[in-house]
Amino acid sequence: MNRLDAVAIGELLIDFTPAGVSEQGLPRYEQNPGGAPANVMAGLTKLGKRTAFIGKVGEDAFGRFLTGELEKHGVDTGGMVFTGEAGTTLAFVSLDASGDRSFSFYRNPGADMLLQESEIDWERIGAAALFHFGSVSMTHEPSASATLRAAAYARREGKLVSFDPNLRPLLWPDLDRAKRLILEGLTYSDVLKLSEEELHFLTGERDLEAGTRQLQEQYGTPLIFVTLGPDGSFYRQGERTGRVPGFAVKAVDTTGAGDAFFSGALFRLMESGKRPEALTEEELGEVCRSGNAAGALTTTRKGAIPALPSREELDQLIRGN
């Protein structure tokens, strides 16, 4: 197995995004590849990293489409599993006037929920420098146990472990279970990305300083990001905290913006060659600026994976500000 820069485990699904109306005045939807862990791997690949994805899709047209899209964008799909037991998960995205989105999911069950521990490609995890996961694959068994076992294995093997809870309340049958499993995921994590809403869900705090301090003291996560939408991002590394402003762009679709932020930030972290706890204040600013730029660029186009920026686009936006 060739060396990989990063591997992710989790959900891969179809995002049906609004695409205007038909001649009859009916809404049209565009079929886009989605799923947060897959988006992050595609983002890293577009920035020049070697990545792979581990997950389960249906033996259907959607599953074949998704596999082809990841391969088209350079993501290794050798760790993907196909099943006839359930269809590929579908998400219909609704956008408001500012491009902010809400979701309707068709996943009862979805193929991604059926990934078993015995189906995990351990060789690919072993070949990667970074392991990435989220919480959508933890909403139901058997994928919940499979995801956490993979994260624990990556931690034992000394991989850099990144975690994006990406809380989707509609997908969880029980939000107490969601909180418990997300907090368990934190015990394996070196780098954590949260939204302000997720920070409040996990800690009860709306103050970024207090909430991130609570998580870092309880779980020892070396580096925590909180994304702030168009306002940029906040970071905590030990006692060091900071805010890095965002980039002014005309947003048309925020789908995948958080995933793009994480791919941009992880890219810059990996380029530094340092563990997150060793980054200087200047380097932390560069990591956040890279994430902010990737997130901003993604909002200027529709969809998630198709909208992710190239290295050239990322550098150009950062240099121009």
Domain range 4-10+35-56+113-319, CATH architecture: 3-Layer(aba) Sandwich (3.40)
Cis peptide before 142 (omega within 30 of 0): yes
pLDDT at 94 over 90: no
Tens digit of each residue's pLDDT (9 = 90 or more) over 209-265: 999 999 999 999 999 999 999 999 999 999 999 999 999 999 988 889 999 999 999
Which residue in the block uniquely carries the two structure tokens 């891969």?
12
Rounded CA-CA distance 279/287 in Å is 9
Task: Locate the domains of the chain by residue range.
Answer: 4-10+35-56+113-319
- Per the prediction, the chain carries an average pLDDT of 96
Q: With 0-12 CB in 10 A as exposed, 13-18 as middle and 19+ as buried, what is 23? A: exposed
What does the DSSP assignment read for 133-178? Answer: EESGGGSSTTHHHHHHHHHHHHHHTT-EEEEE----GGG-S-HHHH
Tens digit of each residue's pLDDT (9 = 90 or more) over 139-197: 999 999 999 999 999 999 999 999 999 999 999 999 999 999 999 999 999 999 999 99
Tens digit of each residue's pLDDT (9 = 90 or more) over 266-275: 999 999 999 9
